[in-house]
Chain A
Amino acid sequence: MTIVVPDVVDEPAPRKPTRRRRVGRFTPRDVAVVGVLLGIPVALDVLLIWGPTLASVGLSFTSWDLVKPIKPVGTQNYEYIFDTYPKFWPAFQHNVLWLLFLALVATPFGLLLAVLLDKQVRLTRFYQTTLYLPVVLSLAVVGFIAQLIYSRDYGVLNAVIGRTDNPVDWIGDPSINLWAVLVLVGWRHVGYVMLLYLAGLKAVDPTLKEAAAIDGANEVQTFLRVVFHALRPVHVIVLVITFIEALRAFDVAYAINRGRNGLELLSVLVTDHIVGEASLIGIGSAIAVVMLVISTVFIITYLTQAFRQDPR
């Protein structure tokens, strides 16, 4: 036994030191390479993400107009946005509505379209292209389309529904315009979600469906009990995209009426205060911090879910 052990150790012994030299110990050059490779992303991350984030948090407790020196004001900016600024809470509600609409209406509709198109309907390529087309439109184009469709005086929609005598003011009436915009946003979102699910459905192993069919499941049961669960990775991506879309909602509202009169959104309020001549950097930063807190809650929820389910 005592002889055998050194034998066993002895045999790989000549190789081990070389392996250690290659893997276990870093030459100065290795350290330099690793340092540079890790250093650049870390530096960019700190410079482009953490720096501005912390700067926003810091600036939200100050008053600054870009010209005069920065002046600390404590929580005054937060008091202003929560208590005095009449557009903050409407904007907050609109973001929540945006999220609910995308998550509960547009996303399921996208899934439905994907399932239908996956059935090899005739002209499926044509439908796919048509439904995906809005995703590639620029925000300026979407704003222009909105004006053509929704304009009270010249819009197509009022003409189509025959309301030319007493036209509906789709863009100007603050009780309707958010829904009009959500339809446009949903129109873009549905195409995107549909494409993701379509790709996911193509990847679902057909033998799963065959097995379900052999077990006597009908089409609806097969989808709900088998295929839907097989799409789990796609669900996660779609969920994340939906959250992101709702939080960064900006472009369509801004293109239509610069996000005012019923179309207020948190991102628009940040822009209004920081970009432009307004230069109320402190107040804009305070609104941005509120957005940061909301996104952080979502991100943490998502990450805990993702990590918990990962081992399975």
Chain B
Amino acid sequence: MVYSPALSRRTLLRGAALGAGAFAVPAALVACEKPTSTGGGANEVTFGSNYSDAVPKQALADVLAASGVNVKVNTVDHNTFQENLTRYLQTTPDDVFTWFAGYRMQYFAAQGLSMDISDVWSEIGGNFSPALRAASTGADGKQYFVPFYYYPWAVFYRKSVFAEKGYSIPKTWDEYKALAAKMKSDGLEGISLGNKDGWPAMGTFDYINMRLNGYDFHISLMAGKESWEDAKVKQVFSLWREIVPLYQAGANGRTWQEGAQSLAQKKTGLYVLGMFVGQQFQGADYEDLDYFPFPVITEANGQDAIEAPIDGFMLSKSPKNVAGSKQLLKYLGGAEAQVKYLKSDPNNVATNNKADTSGYNALQKKAIEMVSSAKHISQFLDRDTVPAFASTVMIPSLQSFLNNPADVDGLCKKIEEQKKTIFTT
């Protein structure tokens, strides 16, 4: 009688402790592990997707459903997917995954985290331009990537504003500056810039560098092989500094969408951005939107390079279903799949030469013209260099440049110091 309460309490506690332990341990294990797919047939291809927004997600699902391959899609939020990719590819990745061309692809290929698909390219290669082939090729000369669509960066404007004020398309850097200055004196706010998230200004840096120093220097600089204190780089910032006063004020506090709204409301006259700027324009305003290639700075380089980030697909290092995965890649590189996908998204362009362009709007048609005449396609600063360098060095540096464009020497010195550490770790 005396013992029984104590005993029962002890038993209870022990039970509770074991119970807690039983819950805690598996929970901890589950937390470390990525949810694995259950079951799955032998001919199933697993597909890791970052198409997490509702419209692209549905469009991709429709495309995959028509592939003739049994695909199991595992969709992850776009940013989360990007942030966890290194870990994901080393644990139990899906057979096929969505990714970006250029350095970002080459990085994972060089780590041996992606399978060589040169055999796929020997079949579908004829459908892609040499620039697209180069953007899909790793440092070892083999292909690792199938391009799906791209979106060019250019200078966007409204046709009605140009017609009303009698502006003409600037061909050279001097004409471009003169035009922006004219807009300021006409009561517009000049050039839109929404750099709150840090990346939109990168497009302007890339273009000035490629126009001034050429594509090869730009890519070599991005790969960490050139010094940021080189006079060539300093001149990029010196040129850029000339147009900083012609931007609308407060660039670092504005989202790219707000910058697009300024253009849509005819408050500003020009905007260097990707074709996705069209998402902010509806109906007649969309019809009124147009663009021209970034102006010429030196005759030698002309307008031979274009910035057009490419999204596409890669294989993980050892897919469970290699044959099915490659079949799926061939399908996704095909004209039919790309056209089907782009029906839902008119702000991108198919990569396949044979894609039916009859359904394209004027902006898409112009993009094909621009990209097919370009000798080089760059992938945007944050895709052409080490991610750590882009996010922890270039974003803060470009933001401080826009706040204080005077100190180019100090800026380049700081970038170079940080670059040395980041590229050697």
Contact = CB atoms under 8 A, between A and B. Distances in A.
A86 B6 CA distance: 63
B164 interface: no
Given A33-B17, A174-B403, A280-B425, A261 B252 contact: yes
Nearest to B250: A169
Contacts of B86: 65-67, 277, 279
Interface size class of B (residues with CB under 8 A): 35 or more
B298 interface: no
Interface SS of chain B? helix
A65 B392 contact: no
Contacts of A65: 86, 425
Given A76-B421, A260-B396, A273 B388 contact: yes
A171 B14 CA distance: 55
Contacts of B250: 152-153, 167, 169, 172-173
A153 B399 contact: no
Contacts of A153: 250, 254, 258, 261-262
Given A36-B18, A279-B86, A172 B396 contact: no
B398 to A, nearest CB: 10
Nearest to B85: A277
B321 to A, nearest CB: 25
Interface in B386-425: 387-388, 391-392, 395-396, 399-400, 403, 414, 417-418, 421-422, 425
Contact of A258 (B24, B85, B197, B417): B197
Interface residues of A, number: 50
B13 to A, nearest CB: 7
Interface SS of chain A? loop
A82 interface: no
Contacts of B400: 86, 261
Nearest to A176: B253
A170 B252 CA distance: 10
Contacts of B111: 67-68
B10 interface: yes
A280 B419 CA distance: 13
Interface in A85-115: 85-87
A267 interface: no
Contacts of B17: 33, 36-37, 40
A278 interface: yes
Contacts of A170: 253
A275 interface: yes
A40 B24 contact: yes
A129 B250 CA distance: 36
A152 B28 CA distance: 45
Which of A22, A47, A87, A170 has the largest count of B CB atoms less than 10 A from its CB?
A87
B21 interface: yes
A283 B421 CA distance: 10
Interface in A44-89: 44, 47, 63, 65-68, 73, 76, 80, 84-87
A169 B399 CA distance: 14
A257 B399 CA distance: 12
Nearest to A85: B418
B20 A277 contact: no
A158 to B, nearest CB: 11
B198 interface: yes
Contacts of A173: 250, 252-253
Contact of B198 (A32, A171, A258, A283): A258
Contact of A151 (B13, B253, B388): B253
Contacts of A282: 425
A276 B85 CA distance: 8
Nearest to B10: A33
Contacts of A242: none
B399 A260 contact: yes
B199 to A, nearest CB: 10
Contacts of A277: 82-83, 85-86, 387-388, 391
A189 B17 CA distance: 37
B196 interface: yes
Interface in B10-33: 10, 13-14, 17-18, 20-21, 24, 28
Interface in B227-279: 249-255, 258, 261-262
Given A261-B198, A276-B82, A283-B421, 5 more contacts: A151-B254, A153-B258, A167-B250, A173-B253, A275-B83
17 contacts: A22-B6, A30-B10, A37-B14, A63-B425, A66-B87, A66-B90, A68-B111, A84-B421, A87-B396, A152-B250, A153-B250, A169-B249, A172-B254, A257-B253, A276-B387, A277-B387, A277-B391
Interface of A: 22, 29-30, 32-33, 36-37, 40, 44, 47, 63, 65-68, 73, 76, 80, 84-87, 147, 150-154, 167, 169-174, 177, 257-258, 260-261, 272-273, 275-280, 282-283
Interface of B: 6, 10, 13-14, 17-18, 20-21, 24, 28, 82-83, 85-87, 90, 111, 113, 196-198, 249-255, 258, 261-262, 387-388, 391-392, 395-396, 399-400, 403, 414, 417-418, 421-422, 425
The 7 closest A-B pairs by CB, nearest first: A172-B253, A277-B387, A169-B250, A278-B388, A171-B253, A172-B252, A63-B425
